[in-house]
Amino acid sequence: MANIGYRTKHEMDVQHNMKYFYLAAALLGSIIPYGAFLPWLIENGVNISLFFEAAMANPISLFAWLDVLIAAITLIVFIIVDAKTNKVAYWYLALVGTLCMGVSCGLPLYLYLRTREQNTRLTHAKSF
């Protein structure tokens, strides 16, 4: 029979472990993409026109950038709406992560913050 109204210890352990997975993914999602971008930045400096020229150099690079752009816009809207619905503390950090680092940082960072908030609420609910 299903556990309705409360979570099993296993479910809570899985969610607790996922919190750390999300945090690690946010860190990797910051470090790895910037590790690829930094050599270009060192070689070319902050050259916005060259950056956009390289981003649109061929159909594959344009595809990748448009994919990321759509994902980032979708993620930003999701974060704003979901954070209000679920009262996620520090949600704006995920927006900053998305805008400054990218979706590979912003999404796992938001999932970390959301999971942390859910775990906190469950812990407080169990103490009553």
12-57 tens-digit pLDDT: 777 778 999 999 999 999 999 999 999 999 999 999 999 999 989 9
Alpha-carbon distance 47 to 97, whole Å? 22
* Contacts with 79 (C-beta within 8 Å, 6 or more apart), sequence order: 91, 94, 95, 98, 106, 110
Residue 4 has a pLDDT of 47
Percent of the chain past pLDDT 70, that is, above it, reads 88
Identify whether 3 is part of a domain. Answer: no
Give the domain range for residue 92.
Answer: 9-123
Identify whether 57 is part of a domain. Answer: yes
Residue 127 has a pLDDT of 58
Residue 91 has pLDDT above 60, yes or no: yes
Identify whether 4 is part of a domain. Answer: no
In this prediction, residues 81-95 reach a mean pLDDT of: 96
The number of folded domains in the chain is 1
Residue 1 has a pLDDT of 44
Identify whether 103 is part of a domain. Answer: yes
Alpha-carbon distance 100 to 26, whole Å? 13
Asked if residues 29 and 98 have their Cβ atoms less than 8 Å apart, the reply is no
Identify whether 2 is part of a domain. Answer: no
Identify whether 128 is part of a domain. Answer: no
Q: Kindly report the pTM of this predicted structure.
A: 0.84
Residue 128 has a pLDDT of 55
Identify whether 1 is part of a domain. Answer: no
